[in-house]
A and B are shown apart, each in its own frame.
Chain A
């Protein structure tokens, strides 16, 4: 789809999908991917001059495999993109593959990619593959990935204040994506 002005949307998908977003000059898009799992989503973003895009994902997987692929191409000068995808896996496998491309003749772009994974049990896995294809030195680009499990010390602290193990775990899961959730509430 073409985006010309401001575009904000929360997206939930039931089947494998390829989504194309073409941001025209000076446009802005903020997309939240959540409330679905078990499917493959490919998100292609093309950014024209002065356009800016935010991509956020929260995936709670239970007994499911979820794949997210993002391809962000900076086709115009001064374009910006922030992406942050979180996976919470319970007996599930997630895969995140992100590619940021900045061609040689495109200047002053900024692009950030974050992927965080929380594994709730030993059968869960998270695969992550960040790729930066940068042909121009006049850019700011970052990527970061973390994968971890719940912290027993944190669970003990919460339980010692009267909450059950399950309530403590749920509190920590919510804390894991709290910052994205508050962005969703604010948008």
Chain B
């Protein structure tokens, strides 16, 4: 595969991943990661490793909100690394809303994510979430 083709495929994986998160397609979200891949969400003290741990995170996250809206504002892919800026708006069942802006860092392993880390202001997230 040429470098340009690889970059195109990796950008597409990032865009597909966020679309799947938005659709709540947890099996397909998890399948974007390598079997031993890791995911480090902003409020976690350390990365979650492996499909089971990553699945557990999204199974907890997705039902939290009545409505969610994610918009990817910028994607950069360079070699085996990628960055994606994201704006996340959501509404809880009780009507409370949250608005987060973050940047996801991707390390690719072949055609999948090896590691994903979300850079965000955890202090602001805790304030909005009331935790």
Verify that A and B bind, or say they do not: no
B residues neighboring A (CB under 8 Å): none
Q: Give A residues with C-beta under 8 Å from B.
A: none
